[in-house]
Amino acid sequence: MADDNDRETAVRDAVDVSRSGAPAGGSVIRDRFSADEIFQRIIVAADEEVTVGTRELFFAGIAGGFAITVTFMLYASLYAKTGGDPILSALLYPLGFVFIILGDYQLYTENTLPPVALVLERLASLPSLLRIWAVVLASNILGGMLGALALATTNVLSADAAGAAAGFAQKAIETSQVTLFSKAVFAGLIVAGVVWVDYSLRDSISRLVLIYISFLAIPFGNLYHVVVSATEMFYLVFIGELALSVGLWEFVLPVLVGNSVGGVVLVTVVNYFHTTERRLETAREEGSKRQLTLREWLWGGWSASGRSYVPATDEVPRNDPGSRDDKP
């Protein structure tokens, strides 16, 4: 009987740990993760993300930008059909974000949490974080720009919806940069919060509900997300009602800075520092030195230098992510 119990425990423990070493089940309550376990799962995901090649990041970011175009299109269409009703017009706003998160596309604000957590642990260099941010942001904006161009040059939007679409950016341009920044900070908090809570969930239905409810808060709160804002701005540029330089400086830039600050604050103040030192011990082999030196951390190059967080992947060297693009 004791052997059977030991075997059952061993099987259960094996099921509750993923191939990468991250917990797949809570240590105290099987279907609930502690803050330390959520942090460990985020670190493991970030560890994989920083090794992704530039090409993969870029095209996943393009897909994310196109997905945001769907959000913009549906928001404008429903706004026109419902006479500007603030509740009904926003009902399909989260759809693009659902595609991005469940479809594993790349979104700039979504990338705020995992890579920053990895850098805070000195397991990846600051340049590697900047590489991810730069590639994903540029590809997101490019995808949104192409989507806005398609909407501006086709008859996808009705006349009323086109007017509503133009009105979104016009209203933002008339808003002060301080207000845009403040609203964007809260949007960044929401997005980073979604990422954190998402790693505590294990089924698609729960994740869908989380994403849908959370991203409804952006239109309901009249907040701003940088990729949505860039798409709205490009639409106004393409229909000839706004200068690109004005849109970038007075609208997109303060939203970008606000989203970034909101996401990083949530990581550093709320999620990072309220976990304990056990978060490292659970995934490191005893006595294994994994953290980068300060020199490597600051000047480690674009590659994710240092040893992998997860012991199971220690034998895999970390090369420059860009070099993967040349592999067949």
Which residue, 69, 50, 13, is CA-closest to 232?
69
For the residues 238-263, what does the mean pLDDT come to?
Answer: 95
pLDDT at 12 over 60: no
- Worst-scoring range by mean pLDDT, 29-38, 131-140, 166-175, 309-318? 309-318
- Which of the residue ranges 47-56, 172-181, 276-285, 303-312 would you say has the lowest mean pLDDT? 303-312
In DSSP terms, 17 is beta-bridged to 23
pLDDT over threshold 50, residue 283: no
What is the rounded CA–CA span in Å between residue 44 and residue 260? 22
* Cβ-count burial 39-62 (b if 16+ within 10 Å, e if not): bbbbbbbbbbbbbbbbebbbebbb
Q: What are the residues facing 32 on neighbouring strands?
A: 29
CA 38 to chain centre: 16
What does pLDDT average to over the chain?
Answer: 82
Over range 229-253, report the average pLDDT.
95
For the record, the structure tokens of 209 come out as 């509900």
- Quote the pLDDT of residue 268: 75
Least confident of 113-127, 132-146, 162-176, 305-319: 305-319
pTM: 0.82
How far, in Å, CA of 168 to CA of 232, rounded? 7
**DSSP SS3 for 149:** helix
Asked if residue 161 has pLDDT above 70, the reply is yes
